[in-house]
């Protein structure tokens, strides 16, 4: 029996050398031949010429050397503009409901039933407030941005963007579709990383995942705008303030795109060499978008999905934020210890201890970084009549009042510039890190995606600070 088996195996092995090297190819070819024969018997084509011609006309316009890129910028700008403008009102409404109505009401309720103060602090001021905050600032922009983006995708336009942009991304070792996941990242990095599933080449997909954090997400735009208005706007003549601070924000976003491409290039030349790469890009025919289906899928698959993850991370973070501000040793809170300890390091980077602590404890979402900074600043400076108390995040109605508070906390133009840079270049929020882990299934890639931007941010802030000090002194 086994003798026979060996005989057969030896014969097979010897025969292998006689088969041409490309017999896998021949096999595939014969499959296609048979399939097309069968298909030819069964399929009759009705004339689809007209549809096809319209497709060609649109394609000629959107992939044109001259009109292609401007059309893309116009459409994407329109999407962002609609998102920012459209989310203002619902955000304010949600905030006034969750933060100004429900929050005091919960506190009162807790007081009435005689809950101990620390429990109220942890649950209402910590866990509830953080997650309510995340919902009210994250939900509206996402609920507008994702459906709009999905509509463009459904219509068939986005593959054309990838087609046009591939030339640039090819040069840095990436895939044209990264232009899409990058744009998605401007809405939310976690969603951008989920969207990298459209990239079907392993190396290029990893590049897109690791560099997505360089797209300035929804949670960071407001920070950029606020800080630019307060610090950059006030450094130039009043009539230029609006223009210059808007320019500064755009500059930071463009800087993010630049870093995204630079890091893509670096990754493809070094640590991602061992990954396979295979390019292909299908340009599907245009079709009228299915509005209802788009709304449903983009709300459920993208908005709710990301929001849910954010809430899950916001709850423990809210508790931590409250605890570090309220647990004291020798009458000094843990937060104060850390801030005093890290302040020299923060100042060396042109930041301060408050900012460093805020970025650590507000890791679940970039949206709660500024409220945390304000709360900590009030706590450290001991200013009275501002804020809601230790461990309770808040935001001020007017930009000017926020500015006054930050100046009182020892902030300068340099702190403002560095915060804008650090807001662009720091570790992704925990929701995003978790999403990277889920998508890649690898601790290594999650760690790399976390470490690269934060090291870049620390180094860049450090260099800016030293140069600034040399010039000013």
Partner 1 sequence: MVDPVNALMVFGFIVIGLTALFITQKKIVNNIRRTQNDKMKMHVEDALKHIYDCEYKNMGCTLHSIAGNLSISSDKAAKVIAKLESLKLIMNDPDKIKLTDEGRKYALQVIRIHRIWETYLADETSKDELEWHDDAELMEHTISSEEADRLAASIGNPLRDPHGDPIPSETGDIPELEGQQLNTLDEGDTARIVHLEDEPAAVYKNLVSQGLHVGMDITVNKRDKEEVLFESEGVSRSIPPVYAANVTVVKFEASIKPESYKKLSNLKIGEKGKVIGISKACRGQQRRRLMDLGIVPGTVVSAEMVSSGGDPVAYLIRGATIALRKSQSEKIYIEERLSEVSN
Segment near partner 1 (CB under 8 A); pick from 56-64, 215-223, 241-249, 373-381: 56-64
**Interface residue with partner 1, options 3, 4, 5, 17 (CB under 8 A):** 17
Angstrom distances, CA of residue 383 to CA of 230, 258, 332, 386: 20, 40, 16, 7
Q: Does 469 bind partner 1 (CB under 8 A)?
A: yes
Q: By three-state DSSP, how is residue 77 classified?
A: helix
Cβ 164 to partner 1 shortest distance, Å = 5
Q: Does 101 bind partner 1 (CB under 8 A)?
A: no
Q: By three-state DSSP, how is residue 18 classified?
A: coil
Q: What are phi and psi of 33, to 5 degrees?
A: -60, -50
Cβ 28 to partner 1 shortest distance, Å = 5
Q: Does 276 bind partner 1 (CB under 8 A)?
A: yes
Label residue 354 left, alpha or beta by phi (over 0 means left) and psi (-120 to 50 means alpha).
Answer: alpha
Cβ 298 to partner 1 shortest distance, Å = 25
Q: By three-state DSSP, how is residue 333 classified?
A: strand
Choice between 283 and 400, CB closer to partner 1:
283
Choice between 159 and 316, CB closer to partner 1:
159
Q: Does 412 bind partner 1 (CB under 8 A)?
A: no
Within a 13 Å sphere around the CA of 171, how many CA atoms are in the beta-carbon half?
6
- How many chain residues bind partner 1 (CB under 8 A)? 57
Q: Does 466 bind partner 1 (CB under 8 A)?
A: yes
State the binding string over 185-224 for partner 1 (x if CB under 8 A, else -): ----------------xxx---------------------
> Whose CA is closest to 312, among 218, 215, 438?
438
**Interface residue with partner 1, options 7, 29, 82, 254 (CB under 8 A):** 29
Q: Does 377 bind partner 1 (CB under 8 A)?
A: no
Cβ 175 to partner 1 shortest distance, Å = 10
Separation between Cα atoms, residue 44 and residue 29, nearest integer Å: 23
How many Cβ atoms are within 10 Å of 246's Cβ, its own excluded? 15
* Distance between first and last Cα of the chain: 91
Q: Does 327 bind partner 1 (CB under 8 A)?
A: no
Q: By three-state DSSP, how is residue 332 classified?
A: strand
Q: Which of residues 111-130 bind partner 1 (CB under 8 A)?
A: none
Q: Which of residues 150-169 bind partner 1 (CB under 8 A)?
A: 163-168
Q: Which of residues 278-297 bind partner 1 (CB under 8 A)?
A: 278-285
Contact 430, 313 (CB under 8 A): yes
Choice between 5 and 16, CB closer to partner 1:
16
Choice between 394 and 468, CB closer to partner 1:
468
Contact 413, 430 (CB under 8 A): no
Contact 287, 156 (CB under 8 A): yes
Q: Does 455 bind partner 1 (CB under 8 A)?
A: no
Cβ 273 to partner 1 shortest distance, Å = 5
> Whose CA is closest to 431, among 372, 356, 374, 362?
362
Provide the 8-state DSSP code for 198: G
Contact 49, 110 (CB under 8 A): no
Q: Does 34 bind partner 1 (CB under 8 A)?
A: no
Choice between 165 and 190, CB closer to partner 1:
165
Contact 196, 212 (CB under 8 A): yes
Q: Which of residues 420-449 bind partner 1 (CB under 8 A)?
A: none
> Whose CA is closest to 402, among 231, 245, 241?
231
> Whose CA is closest to 428, among 251, 235, 191, 204?
191
Segment near partner 1 (CB under 8 A); pick from 8-16, 184-192, 314-322, 362-370: 8-16
Q: Does 104 bind partner 1 (CB under 8 A)?
A: no
Angstrom distances, CA of residue 400 to CA of 229, 230, 396, 397, 404: 9, 7, 9, 9, 6
Q: Does 274 bind partner 1 (CB under 8 A)?
A: yes
Q: Does 58 bind partner 1 (CB under 8 A)?
A: no
Cβ 248 to partner 1 shortest distance, Å = 23
By the criterion CB under 8 A, which residues form the site for partner 1?
Answer: 10, 13-14, 16-17, 19, 21-22, 24-25, 28-29, 32-33, 59-60, 63-65, 68-69, 163-168, 170, 176, 201-203, 268, 272-285, 347-348, 462-463, 465-467, 469-470, 473
């Amino acid at each position: 029996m086994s003798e026979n088996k060996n005989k057969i195996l030896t014969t097979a092995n010897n025969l292998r050398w006689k088969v041409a090297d490309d017999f896998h190819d021949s096999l595939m070819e014969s499959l296609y031949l048979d399939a097309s024969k069968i298909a030819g018997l069964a399929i009759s084509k009705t004339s689809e010429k007209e549809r096809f011609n319209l497709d060609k006309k649109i394609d000629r316009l959107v992939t044109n050397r001259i009109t292609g890129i401007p059309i893309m910028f116009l459409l994407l700008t329109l999407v962002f503009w609609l998102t920012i403008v459209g989310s203002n009102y619902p955000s304010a409404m949600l905030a006034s409901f969750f933060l100004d109505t429900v929050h005091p009401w919960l506190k009162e309720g807790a007081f009435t039933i005689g809950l101990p103060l620390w429990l109220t602090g942890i649950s209402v001021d910590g866990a509830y407030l953080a997650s309510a905050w995340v919902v009210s600032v994250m939900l509206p922009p996402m609920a507008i941005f994702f459906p709009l983006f999905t509509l463009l995708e459904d219509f068939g336009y986005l593959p054309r963007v990838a087609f046009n942009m591939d030339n640039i991304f090819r040069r840095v070792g990436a895939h044209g579709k990264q232009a899409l996941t990058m744009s998605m990242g401007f809405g939310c990095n976690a969603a951008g990383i989920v969207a990298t599933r459209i990239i079907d080449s392993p190396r290029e997909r990893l590049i897109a995942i690791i560099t997505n954090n360089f797209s300035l997400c929804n949670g960071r735009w407001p920070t950029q705008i606020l800080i630019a208005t307060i610090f950059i706007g006030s450094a130039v003549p009043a009539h230029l303030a609006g223009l210059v601070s808007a320019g500064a924000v755009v500059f930071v976003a463009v800087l993010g795109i630049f870093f995204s491409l630079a890091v893509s290039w670096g990754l493809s030349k070094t640590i991602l060499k061992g990954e396979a790469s295979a390019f292909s890009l299908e340009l599907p025919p245009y079709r009228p978008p299915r509005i209802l289906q788009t709304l449903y899928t983009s709300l459920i698959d993208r908005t709710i999905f990301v929001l849910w993850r954010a809430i899950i991370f916001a709850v423990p973070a809210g508790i931590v934020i409250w605890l570090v501000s309220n647990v004291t040793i020798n009458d000094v809170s843990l937060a104060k210890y850390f801030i005093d300890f890290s302040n020299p390091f923060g100042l060396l980077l042109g930041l301060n201890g408050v900012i460093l602590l805020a970025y650590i404890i507000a890791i679940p979402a970039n949206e709660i970084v500024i409220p945390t900074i304000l709360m900590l600043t009030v706590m450290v400076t001991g200013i009275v009549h501002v804020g809601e108390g230790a461990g309770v995040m808040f935001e001020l109605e007017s930009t000017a009042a926020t500015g006054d508070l930050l100046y009182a906390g020892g902030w300068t133009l340099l702190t403002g510039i560095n915060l804008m840079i650090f807001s662009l270049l720091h570790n992704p929020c925990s929701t995003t890190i978790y999403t990277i882990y889920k998508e890649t299934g690898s601790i290594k890639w999650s760690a790399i995606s976390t470490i690269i931007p934060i090291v870049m941010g620390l180094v860049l802030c450090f260099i800016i600070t030293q140069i600034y000090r040399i010039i000013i002194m």
